[in-house]
């Protein structure tokens, strides 16, 4: 079984996807981390996020194991990741890895922006998770401050909106729901309620 979970920044799709994977006994892949890792390595190498040739080279030999996840979760890396992610050659370089991961037994939950549209168009169930920008900023702000980042919800909101606009307007694999995706608005749902709603959708599809 393959479950695709897509949605805008900080919509809660990561937490939801991880819980769905545990619930159904499936593998889990946060595909955003792949783009974040390419961006992190670029900056580490002293390159700009818009250095396309270097980004493709890094993407082709990506090794997630050697990078600390905490360093990948900052807003700076998120912003750089969305610049990197607009590069079609970077996307192609990591497409096979994602598809092979999705097809491992007994199945997988992948979360990202283009799982239902490009990576796994034949997924058994597709969710598109949203929440209002203000709620997303509040949730992500809390997360970032708990991880030691000194950042206000207003700055987080500006970052999310900039990133969403970039992700929605790029020519390749833009952020959008697949035609057969189930929309799940978590604005007024806590994690538990969102999880129950997602399980009801998966079980019913």
Nearest-5° angle of CA 139, CA 158, CA 130? 50
Close Cβ partners of 143 (under 8 Å, ≥ 6 residues apart): 10, 73
Rounded distance, CA 107 to CA 169, Å? Answer: 31
Binding region for ligand CDP (CB under 6 A) out of 15-23, 74-82, 121-129, 179-187 = 74-82
Token pair of 36, please?
Answer: 């974040």
Binding mask 22-41 for ligand CDP (x = CB under 6 A): ---------xx--xx-----
β-pair partners for 129: 184
By CB under 6 A, name the one of 29, 49, 78, 197 that touches ligand CDP. Answer: 78
Pairing of strands 2-6, 27-30: unpaired
Cβ-based neighbour number of residue 158 at 10 Å:
14
Rounded distance, CA 12 to CA 154, Å? Answer: 18
Binding region for ligand CDP (CB under 6 A) out of 18-26, 55-63, 108-116, 122-130 = 108-116
Site size for ligand CDP (CB under 6 A): 16
By CB under 6 A, name the one of 29, 54, 55, 113 that touches ligand CDP. Answer: 113
CB of 204 to ligand CDP, least distance (A): 25
Binding region for ligand CDP (CB under 6 A) out of 57-65, 106-114, 121-129, 179-187 = 106-114
14 contributes a contact to ligand CDP by CB under 6 A:
yes
DSSP assignment of 138-168 equals: HHHHHHHHHTT----HHHHHHHHHHHHHHHH
159 contributes a contact to ligand CDP by CB under 6 A:
no
Cβ proximity to ligand CDP: between 3 and 81 the closer is 81
Site residues for ligand CDP per CB under 6 A: 9-10, 14, 31-32, 35-36, 78, 81-82, 85, 112-114, 163, 167
């Amino acid at each position: 079984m393959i479950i695709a979970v897509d949605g805008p920044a900080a919509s809660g799709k990561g937490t939801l996807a991880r819980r769905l994977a545990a619930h159904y006994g499936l593998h889990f892949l946060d595909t955003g981390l792949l783009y974040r890792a390419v961006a992190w390595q670029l900056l580490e190498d002293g390159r700009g996020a818009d250095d396309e040739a270097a980004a493709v080279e890094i993407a082709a030999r990506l090794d997630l194991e050697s990078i600390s996840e905490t360093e990948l979760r900052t807003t700076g890396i998120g912003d750089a990741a969305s610049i990197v992610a607009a590069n079609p050659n970077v996307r192609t370089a990591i497409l096979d890895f994602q598809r092979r991961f999705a097809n491992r037994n007994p199945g997988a939950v992948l979360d990202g922006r283009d799982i239902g549209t490009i990576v796994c168009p034949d997924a058994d169930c597709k969710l598109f998770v949203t929440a209002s920008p203000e709620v997303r900023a509040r949730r992500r702000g809390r997360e970032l401050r708990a991880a030691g980042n000194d950042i206000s919800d207003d700055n987080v909101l500006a970052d999310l909106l900039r990133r969403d606009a970039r992700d929605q307007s790029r020519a390749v694999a833009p952020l959008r729901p697949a035609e057969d995706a189930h929309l799940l608005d978590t604005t007024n749902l806590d994690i538990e309620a969102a999880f129950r709603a997602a399980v009801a959708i998966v079980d019913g599809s």
